[in-house]
Chain A
Amino acid sequence: MAIEIRPREDQPVVTTRPTTEPASARVPTRAPEQAAAARTTKIEARDLNLYYGSFRAVRDVTMDIPANEITAIIGPSGCGKSTFLRSLNRLHELAHGARMEGRLLIDGVDIYERSVDAVDLRRLVGMVFQRPNPFPTMSIYGNVASGLRLGGGPKPADLDEIVERCLTRAALWDEVKDHLGAPGTSLSGGQQQRLCIARALAVDPEVILMDEPASSLDPIATLRIEELMLELRGSYTIVIVTHNMQQASRVSDQTAFFSMGEDRAGYLVEMGQTTTIFTNPREQLTEDYISGRFG
């Protein structure tokens, strides 16, 4: 019972990881008394500060992200929401001069602890980026399989099945099943983004980070991505950064509003149920932002 990364019964996409060790062995286990308290909270940020060199991009963020729901992060440009998102899978630390202070826990485990390997973490916390970025030299099939071909472990025997399942899950299978060998970049922008989602699903993550996943897409493609997010809700903890407040209100359960302080550092203004944030926010700043008075 002390194992914090449980196999979820409600998750249809069950894939074989290329790593031979069980999932639970990748992150140290947590004290049992903490487990009960944090059952429905997937990610906890505690006094999180993120820096690029001497510049503080995110200041003192403390927030709880619930499991298997969609949490939207909104806020004006430059308020650190993308930086915050990228700290959740430790992509932030790859930037030149990047560092962090505070604690970030997933299932109660501090992901910046020395015993946690960023490579393993990123298999648990998948990411979809602002612009669709399929690998241009790989086929559609190869793109979905790319994550499973990492690590040098044995290739899963049911690779074909996994690819089909992930493409189906990403609502792309019917459109591409007859030309799986075509380059990933031959698809339209919206299809490429769904391909990237399928690629992220293939490594069997528990959390999916989406950094403005629809900002480069047309309205119809955007709608399909939103539908897809709602379908994945319940099986995955989804954190989405968006500029688009309508999108946040349409898809998310929880909304966090970030703003930029006078020191140009982003901070969390408030977080709550999406309906509350959009109808009856606590803070005047939130009210001003969602009613379009700034940002």
Chain B
Amino acid sequence: MTTLAPTGRLRGRTTPRRADVVFRSGTRVFGGAVIATLGVVAAVLVVSSVPAWTRFGVDLITQTTWDPVRDVYGALPFIVGTLYASAIALLLATPIGILTAIFLSEFAPRRVAIPLSFTIELLAAIPSVVIGLWGVFVLSPFLRDTVDAWLVATLGWLPFFRGPSYGVGLGAAGVILAIMILPTIVSISREVLSSVPNSQREAMFGLGATRWEVAIKAVLPYARSGVIGAVILGLGRALGETMAVTMVIGNGQDIPVSVFDQAQTIASKIAVTFNEASGGLQTQSLVAIGLILLVMTLLLNVAARLLVSRVQQGPAQ
């Protein structure tokens, strides 16, 4: 047994350990790079769109004419189209996604739940352009002849369902988007629901609840902020999705009212127009609406975080 020599063993080191220094500076550099990338992208968008903003100002957001011939650019139809298509997608995907997640985490036996979850996640791996092709050749004609025809016949007196439907249009884009954001909503919600402690389920079972009541009254409320987060992530994807939407949304230049109207989202408008834009004001205006999309997405994320933190705090009743 040796005695401790404090001076020699504790004071021998004058420089910090090298591995620590390397690791610390490495994490700083890469962490900073991520933030810098966002900053640079935003800065480029702002700088490149300055001429458009100085020329049109708020008109870029509030005006409805996008006319390269007269060099007048107002993006309101595309902003509305973006929100409209995303809203349809969310309306369809949220209930289906949450119910699927409840089924997977609360009801399905493991031998069903595992392959099914895997299949749903595979849905996210299908390239956007492939889904778009399917949308053009299969989904749009199908919708036109069945669902759309029925909607026009029964609800056609509402401006939102005024026909006729050509298949391609906002509705088809919304359905395509719903399919594309479904994996996000299902897999995150399922994850969140599965992580609800069993003691919560047992507490509800112990009071004489059915399995359905346990899922709806104990598990879902406990997980609600995570489920809302899942829906918001889905919405974020819907807002920015480009390729598949471009293929099925048609090419409408007016503010869409009916779900059967052909339209453009900001993303699809940029994708369709950018190649033929000749630089100058048209290009700058396209960059400007790209900036609008970025700001919309950021605002949405901030709002979502606020919502989630508010939901986490207080009880429902």
In whole Å, how far is B222's beta carbon from the nearest beta carbon of chain A?
Answer: 6
Decide yes or no whether A223 CB sits under 8 A from chain B: no
Q: A133-B202, A146-B217 are in contact. Are A151 and B316 (CB under 8 A)?
A: no
Decide yes or no whether B203 CB sits under 8 A from chain A: yes
Give A125-150 as 1s and 0s: 1 = Cβ < 8 Å from B's Cβ atoms: 01101010111111101100011011
* Cross-interface CB contact of B317 among A119, A138, A147, cutoff 8 Å: A138
Which A residue's beta carbon lies closest to that of B213? A150
Chain A residue contacts of B200, Cβ below 8 A: 133, 135
Give A275-292 as 1s and 0s: 1 = Cβ < 8 Å from B's Cβ atoms: 000000000000000000
- Which B157-212 residues have a C-beta within 8 angstroms of A? 197, 199-200, 202-210
Among the stretches A44-52, A57-65, A169-177, A195-203, the one at the interface with B is: A195-203
Chain B residue contacts of A150, Cβ below 8 A: 207-210, 213, 217
State whether B206 touches A142 (Cβ < 8 A). no
Q: A137-B222, A137-B224 are in contact. Are A123 and B202 (CB under 8 A)?
A: no
Decide yes or no whether B314 CB sits under 8 A from chain A: yes
In whole Å, how far is B108's beta carbon from the nearest beta carbon of chain A?
Answer: 13
Chain B residue contacts of A127, Cβ below 8 A: 202, 206
* Cross-interface CB contact of B316 among A89, A137, A196, cutoff 8 Å: A137
Decide yes or no whether B218 CB sits under 8 A from chain A: yes
Decide yes or no whether B51 CB sits under 8 A from chain A: no
Decide yes or no whether B8 CB sits under 8 A from chain A: no
* Cross-interface CB contact of B203 among A89, A133, A137, A183, cutoff 8 Å: A133
* Cross-interface CB contact of B202 among A129, A151, A182, cutoff 8 Å: A129
Chain B residue contacts of A157, Cβ below 8 A: none
Classify the interface of chain B: helix, strand, loop or mixed: helix
CA distance A147 to B206 in the complex (A): 9
Decide yes or no whether A122 CB sits under 8 A from chain B: yes
Decide yes or no whether A2 CB sits under 8 A from chain B: no
Chain B residue contacts of A119, Cβ below 8 A: 208-210
Decide yes or no whether B156 CB sits under 8 A from chain A: no
State whether B205 touches A94 (Cβ < 8 A). yes
CA distance A203 to B208 in the complex (A): 8
Which B residue's beta carbon lies closest to that of A146? B207
Chain B residue contacts of A200, Cβ below 8 A: 206-207
CA distance A135 to B214 in the complex (A): 11
CA distance A141 to B317 in the complex (A): 9
State whether B207 touches A123 (Cβ < 8 A). yes
State whether B207 touches A203 (Cβ < 8 A). yes
In whole Å, how far is B31's beta carbon from the nearest beta carbon of chain A?
Answer: 33
Decide yes or no whether B115 CB sits under 8 A from chain A: no
State whether B207 touches A126 (Cβ < 8 A). yes
Give A147-171 as 1s and 0s: 1 = Cβ < 8 Å from B's Cβ atoms: 1011100000000000000000000
In whole Å, how far is B227's beta carbon from the nearest beta carbon of chain A?
Answer: 12
Decide yes or no whether A91 CB sits under 8 A from chain B: yes
Decide yes or no whether A120 CB sits under 8 A from chain B: yes
Decide yes or no whether A80 CB sits under 8 A from chain B: no
Q: Give the A-B pair count, Cβ closer than 8 A.
A: 85
- Which A177-231 residues have a C-beta within 8 angstroms of B? 181-184, 196, 199-200, 203
Chain B residue contacts of A89, Cβ below 8 A: 206
CA distance A137 to B317 in the complex (A): 8
Chain A residue contacts of B207, Cβ below 8 A: 122-123, 126, 146-147, 150, 199-200, 203
Chain A residue contacts of B208, Cβ below 8 A: 119-123, 147, 150-151, 203
CA distance A129 to B200 in the complex (A): 10
Chain B residue contacts of A141, Cβ below 8 A: 317
In whole Å, how far is A216's beta carbon from the nearest beta carbon of chain B?
Answer: 11
- Which A77-106 residues have a C-beta within 8 angstroms of B? 89, 91, 94
Chain A residue contacts of B16, Cβ below 8 A: none
In whole Å, how far is A127's beta carbon from the nearest beta carbon of chain B?
Answer: 4
CA distance A237 to B213 in the complex (A): 27
Chain A residue contacts of B203, Cβ below 8 A: 129, 133-135, 196, 199
CA distance A292 to B181 in the complex (A): 60
State whether B206 touches A184 (Cβ < 8 A). no
State whether A122 touches B205 (Cβ < 8 A). yes
State whether A184 touches B315 (Cβ < 8 A). yes
Q: A133-B199, A150-B217 are in contact. Are A138 and B315 (CB under 8 A)?
A: yes
Chain B residue contacts of A149, Cβ below 8 A: 217
Chain B residue contacts of A131, Cβ below 8 A: 199
CA distance A122 to B206 in the complex (A): 6
Chain B residue contacts of A94, Cβ below 8 A: 202, 205
State whether A135 touches B222 (Cβ < 8 A). yes
CA distance A137 to B204 in the complex (A): 13
* Cross-interface CB contact of A139 among B204, B205, B221, B315, cutoff 8 Å: B315
Interface contacts beyond A91-B206, A133-B200, A139-B317: sample of 15 additional A-B pairs, CB < 8 Å, sorted by A: A89-B206, A91-B202, A91-B205, A120-B208, A133-B199, A133-B203, A135-B200, A136-B222, A139-B315, A146-B204, A147-B209, A150-B208, A151-B208, A181-B315, A182-B315
4 tightest A-B contacts by CB?
A123-B208, A147-B207, A127-B206, A137-B221
Q: List 22 A-B contacts (CB under 8 A).
A: A89-B206, A91-B206, A121-B208, A122-B208, A126-B206, A126-B207, A129-B206, A133-B202, A133-B203, A134-B203, A135-B217, A135-B218, A135-B222, A142-B315, A142-B316, A142-B317, A147-B207, A147-B209, A150-B208, A150-B210, A200-B207, A203-B208
